[in-house]
A and B are shown apart, each in its own frame.
Chain A
């Protein structure tokens, strides 16, 4: 019982990270119709920025998190403008090649600047809370709560604000949005910024629990793609629920079955689901 509870909490924590990364990815996909392969690399950069803010400049944890959020928001806007915008009307392969190039450049820069070694920064609190015989570190609770709050805020932003409606309109019908007088390039930029900032925050939240290194984005981005395919490409609820489901599932499989084939099992589930529902759980049939 104790172990199960511990596992579930770890699963929800991992799911929180997945949900945030996948949400960013799905928002960007929804409005740009481009699978953003650079997302995992930006997640890594978000972690390093917080690391330097916290460890090199001695900033408090929350300041590091906010600095990383703001910088990655700006990087997202710049990337959309400089790297992706010229390729919207071109075949997908163009932006794919650009993305692969960008990943290589960014990761090799990270590798040569900061080296391959694992890094970590301290959690804002090292308290451990005991619940029903289970020890839970404060950071796990911070991850879970912060992620839930941020996901809720993004939801409110999209559903309740003027700008949010314009973003939703742009992703549902870009030409329709243009006819309303909406500057769709701005909407794409803002969305890219928000999506990227979500990835950065996810990375900073797990920074004290997992390790920071140049290739840290690879498994996360792989999982995030699985999640948004399962949830339905472009679906908000699909990415969030999918994130939690996969996070919990992965943790359960690792602790109760095997930690060798976790990814294989999850990919197997994906294939199974797509055979039954080709558009994913919440995807819109075409």
Chain B
């Protein structure tokens, strides 16, 4: 098992955002998490990434306990998050943003250069814009930067929080194509989406989260056929 989330409870002050969450992810899978606005999807990813601490429960990754580690060490273990609000460094160049993504590689210049080539290959526009401040990019380009930056650390588990949010349909398609390609190259993906039809196209399995609880789990096909999912998330 690559990632195991056990009985996770998370709170914002007094209000509980996650209740008894259990999730398992195998190496190489592409898992999607569906849920309405406010269901707790971002909270779950932020907790796995270490930005929030759970009140109860455990997170295990490659047999190691994660939830007790400080946030900045999680990425060293192989987990990266592309957050919903992007968290780019707006007054730094695209190139510097990408290099910061490889922070954990220290001074391994060769490796960083190879990763940079790979990212520029996936997103040629980032190469064109490499000297521009990240804050001047369009929404779609920023999303590409966020994904590119997270690949710079060679993650084993890539978590994406609503990468389609606010983007034009054309851009969404190409982002999803890229996610599929990243997954095909052996990076495990944990994808949070409200755009369920797109997510279930590339996912192998999925979970549905409602008001902080997992209410359904299954293969992508099962979820696509499920009446409740059809109604609530696919708009059919």
Contacts and interface: CB of A to CB of B under 8 A. Distances in A.
Interface of A: 162, 165-166, 168-169, 172-173, 175-184, 284
Given A162-B107, A165-B100, A181 B76 contact: yes
Given A165-B99, A166-B100, A166-B103, A182 B72 contact: yes
Contacts of B83: 175-176, 179
A179 B92 contact: no
Contacts of B89: 168-169, 172-173, 176-177
A172 B75 CA distance: 19
24 contacts: A162-B107, A165-B92, A165-B99, A168-B89, A169-B92, A172-B91, A173-B88, A175-B87, A178-B51, A178-B71, A178-B72, A179-B51, A179-B75, A179-B80, A179-B150, A180-B101, A180-B104, A180-B149, A181-B72, A181-B103, A182-B72, A182-B100, A182-B103, A183-B72
B126 interface: no
B75 to A, nearest CB: 4
The interface centre, meaning the residue of A172, A179, A183 with most chain B CB atoms within 10 A of its CB, is A179
Contacts of A181: 72-76, 103-104, 153
Nearest to B149: A180
Contacts of A183: 70, 72
Contacts of A175: 51, 83, 87
A184 B70 CA distance: 11
Interface string B83-106: 100011111100010011101100
B104 A172 contact: no
A-B complex: 10 closest residue pairs judged by Cβ atoms: A176-B87, A181-B75, A181-B104, A172-B89, A178-B71, A180-B103, A169-B89, A183-B72, A180-B100, A181-B103
B88 A165 contact: no
B191 interface: no
A68 B96 CA distance: 34
Contacts of A168: 89, 91-92
B49 interface: yes
Contacts of A177: 72, 89, 100
A176 B100 CA distance: 10
Given A180-B75, A182-B103, 7 more contacts: A165-B92, A168-B91, A172-B89, A173-B87, A175-B51, A179-B83, A181-B74
A232 to B, nearest CB: 12
Contacts of B88: 173, 176
A175 B82 CA distance: 12
A221 B83 CA distance: 39
Nearest to B101: A180
Nearest to B92: A168
B51 A165 contact: no
Interface in B53-80: 70-76, 80
A235 B49 CA distance: 31
Contacts of B149: 180
A28 B200 CA distance: 46
A168 B92 CA distance: 8
Nearest to A168: B92
Contacts of A180: 75, 100-101, 103-104, 149, 153
Contacts of A169: 89, 92, 100
A284 B90 CA distance: 11
B92 A172 contact: yes
